[in-house]
Chains A and B, each alone.
Chain A
Amino acid sequence: MGNLTDLFPAPASNSILETLVGIADGRSVTVPSGTYTFGNVTARQTLSTSYADVTGSSITYTPPAEANYVSYKFSYKSDSHDINYGSSGIHHIALYLDGTRVARAQKNVSGNYSGSHSNNHASFTQYIEFVFDLTAYSDDISNGKLAGWTTPKEIKVMARDYSSPYYRATIHTNIWRGGTGASGEFQYLQPMIKITAFK
């Protein structure tokens, strides 16, 4: 015999419908709204002066039917490029939903300039995050507002360098490890995606 609570479940006690979180190592994660496969990052990524997809950031997601808000957070490692002129590693990151840029989420990230373009020690974890509002009367994706979200939509991050050859960045990168330059598998690390659907 099943539990009474299986037949008469208590009302949900909080506003989270589901959390989908994973490292971009090719894993598949199943949550109530479906099974999602993350990208598989196996190398660092250098940027250019044109926007390109950030590896490991793409996921095609359909929230649960009663979701009112969807939070997307992509956490990654940012470094000044370890080449001459890497300098402060200025780069720009932008969030896209189904091919439309969410304007208010965009950021520029950089370390401080040392006075020499050859000094490129800036190294830290960064993220881009936005909470999509699904309670709007009509879709306004550039402002992160939708009138519901019932079909799969791709969320991804794009990035570019500020300029070339100066101020370049590299992401998913460890330049140093154990008192010397990183080598082998330690030269890259895989980013993380966290999606939370709220009612």
Chain B
Amino acid sequence: MNSLNNFFPAASSSNILEIIQGSADGRSITVGSGTYTLENVTTYTNSTTSYQKAPGSLIAYTPPENARSVLYKFDFKWHSIGSSGISHFYVDVDGTRITNSNKTFSENYSGNHGHTHGGRNDSMYWVFDLTASSDNAANGEFANWTSSKTIQVKFRRYDSSYGVAVNYNQYYNGGGATGNDTYTIPSLTIIALK
């Protein structure tokens, strides 16, 4: 027998369809649209002058069918490994850079490239618009997102003098960080909204 609430559904109290939120330690999270396994971050990652994935940022996601927008947010720690740590980040969906997600992070320059104390949390995010009339991945707009799309953050250093490592603690417990203290795991959040 069907439930009465199938015939008389309650008024929607929220426009949130589902939320995936987790620390990137390899865990699997089951929500309405499926089961998603987060990456397992077990070290920090240095930047180079070529773009690479920020570990912990990758997820292959298919939103619920009635989703109208999808928030993707990657919260992570970075620390300078060169001078003021100028570095560039963007959100990538299925191999396409979302143009307006570009961000540059840096600290103040001291006048000495050897001063690399800058280290803090930052976020990369994008809100995908699923109400578009046609797909435009570079703008983060989709008309028909019904199969898995891979979302990730990519980053690079400015040049050989300025750069960062992601998920990195340079110092801990009053000295240079060693062993497992050299990394901290990031968080990934997906919110599907109708």
Contacts and interface: CB of A to CB of B under 8 A. Distances in A.
A143 B180 CA distance: 12
A87 B25 CA distance: 34
Given A14-B19, A90-B117, A90-B171, A114 B25 contact: no
Given A11-B5, A111-B118, A113-B110, A69 B21 contact: yes
A26 to B, nearest CB: 27
Contacts of B108: 111-112, 114, 121-122
B129 interface: no
Nearest to B192: A14
A170 B118 CA distance: 16
B184 A131 contact: no
Contacts of A144: 23, 25
B77 interface: yes
Interface residues of A, number: 49
B51 interface: no
Interface stretch (A37-45, A101-109, A174-182): A101-109
Contacts of B77: 107
Contacts of A65: none
A112 B11 CA distance: 52
B50 interface: no
B119 A15 contact: no
Interface string B94-132: 000000000000011111100111111100000000000
Contacts of B71: none
Given A105-B184, A114-B108, A115-B112, A92 B171 contact: yes
Interface residues of B, number: 55
Interface in A120-169: 121-122, 124, 126-127, 129-131, 133, 143-144, 160-163, 167
A31 interface: no
Interface in A45-96: 49, 69, 71, 78, 87-88, 90, 92
Contact of A110 (B11, B23, B118, B174): B118
A1 interface: no
Contact of B21 (A8, A107, A196): A196
A19 to B, nearest CB: 10
The 10 closest A-B pairs by CB, nearest first: A112-B107, A88-B117, A10-B10, A5-B10, A112-B118, A14-B16, A113-B117, A113-B115, A8-B4, A108-B171
